Amino acid sequence: MPSTVTDAGPCRKQLQITVPQESVHAAVERSFQEVRATFALPGFRKGKAPRNLLERKFGDGIRADVMEDLIREGIQESIQENELALVSEPEVDPAGLTVDADADFSFEATVEIRPTVDSPNTDGITVTRIQQPITSKEVDNVLERVRGRMASMIPVEDRGATDSDLISGKMTLTEDEKTVFEREGVGIVPKDDSDIQGIPIEGGSEFFDGVKAGDKLDWKVDLPDTFYIDDLKGHTVLANFDIEEVKEMDLPELNDELAQNFDHDSLAAMTTKIEEDLTAEQSRIADHKAETAVLDALLERCEFDIPESVVRRTLNSRISDAIREQVMPRIYAGEQLDDDEIKEMGTALETELKPEVEADVRRWYLIDTVATEEKIFATESDIDERIEQMAAHSGQRPSEMRQKIAEENGFEDIRANILESKVRKLLFEKAEIVDETPEVDGSSADNELSQANEQGEGND
């Protein structure tokens, strides 16, 4: 099937395809035979209807179907002959195209292809790897979270509630003086929560300042469209919260006994482990930034275009995620957002995110090129190991995680992430890395360790 390929812009090709008359005629005849064998027309048995009757009743539809088949087959053959790697669906304008069994059928198609990336030269690339030191404040924050995990809640009797207390009671919603929702034992920590059971709170955390057991709070609320009871979505109701109990967090002392609850011999040992974990995390961050710097240095040596459709798909996905992240808390808080505001948000996000997306797409094509040349693959054992890590992190069994990934069609993303990790590591090892550790003002993690040691000794 004759075809020619010409440039149509960055990563775009124009295919000019001609289907010979013999092939067109055969396709049309085959379709008429299929219709004759399938349909029984009045006065004729299946397979016996005359051609002129089939032409009058089915001719236009048959030729439209044949044209669709010829276009699809012609494009596929041209793609294979010219070894084109498509990244999006071909574009064909059918306006003015017709199929005539007695003539060639010619048409044009525009396709978008993956870019050709020259093999990158890693010689002479030097990047600085900056690892942030761990501060005593960071260690303190982790230790406070550890204390919080072992905290107990004790009733507050001699004061009103603060925004860090747990306030619990009975929540009731009424509409037209009729109770439409009732829940016992619901609770809220005002500084952490913006709703009770999905019901937005009036005035934020200050709404609960000074309340005590036995108090009643009432407010009018517009339930969001995301409310989990379908019959109440979007309704305006009166909320009533009968406060039954106010509790405060009673934090345990920071000592060896606490550390032993987390399988450490002493507070000093637990503090050392926290510092090691924080240092390892900072090391991973430093590695990732240095790897990205190596990739960016290579990209400066490689000039290539990137497909607009890939940029657009990636950008749209990130815009949707960002809008969802920004909008959902406001909806849960009872805000009403109109379409114009969301469109403006999308426009602003596109301007903000597009350069980042274009850079990520360019990095990916460079990574994919290196992987192909270096014969780097994501093996099944790599995928199994990644799934086990994901399962452990989320508290699921590996079989459950695998099923979830399959349902979300996520295996390709996992393979791509593994491939990227391997290529990043390879390029990082080939580059010259200069390590740098910034100085930190104020107390260091060493001081924290010293204090922890002193506390541990004092508890012996």
For the chain, how big is the Rg over CA atoms in Å? 33
Alpha-carbon distance of 250 to 195, in angstroms, equals 24
- Transcribe 38-73 into DSSP letters: H---TTS-TT---HHHHHHHHHHHHHHHHHHHHHHH
* Residue 121: DSSP 8-state: P
Lookup: tokens for 1: 């099937």
Single out the residue of 4, 17, 11 nearest to residue 73, CA to CA.
17
CATH of domain 152-250: 3.10.50.40
> What pLDDT shows up at residue 350?
95
Which class in CATH covers the domain with range 3-112?
Answer: alpha beta
Q: Residue ranges per domain, the chain?
A: 3-112, 126-136+257-305+339-453, 152-250
- Rounded CA-CA distance 138/448 in Å is 10
* Rounded average pLDDT over 215-224: 91
DSSP character for 232?
G
Contacts within 8 Å (CB) and 24+ apart, 442-445: 442/135, 442/136, 443/135, 443/136, 444/133, 444/134, 444/135, 444/136, 445/133, 445/134, 445/135, 445/136, 445/138, 445/139, 445/275, 445/278
Residue type, 170: K
What's the whole-model pTM score?
0.67
The tokens for 66 are 């044949």
Span 220-264, pLDDT tens digits: 998 887 788 888 888 999 999 999 999 998 999 999 999 999 999
pLDDT band at 197 (very low <50, low <70, confident <90, very high): confident
165/243 Cα distance (integer angstroms): 13
Query: Please, what's the largest Cα pairwise distance for the chain?
Result: 106
Amino acid sitting at position 106 = S
Helix (H, G, I), strand (E, B) or coil at 312: helix
HSE, CB side, 13 Å, CA atoms: give it for residue 213. 12
Using CA atoms, how far apart are residues 107 and 73, in angstroms rounded to an integer? Answer: 12
Question: 174-185 pLDDT, tens per residue?
Answer: 999 899 999 999
Domain 126-136+257-305+339-453 has CATH 1.10.3120: yes
Average of per-residue pLDDT across 447-457: 44
pLDDT of residue 334: 63
Please give the single-letter amino acid code of residue 62.
I
pLDDT tens digit string along 98-112? 999 999 999 999 999
Q: What percentage of the chain exceeds 90 in pLDDT?
A: 67
Q: Residue 10 and residue 460: Cα distance in Å, rounded?
A: 72
Secondary structure (3-state) at 246: strand
pLDDT digits (tens, 9 = 90+) for 288-320: 999 999 999 999 988 899 999 999 999 999 999
Residue 14: enclosing H or E segment and its boundaries?
A: strand 12-19
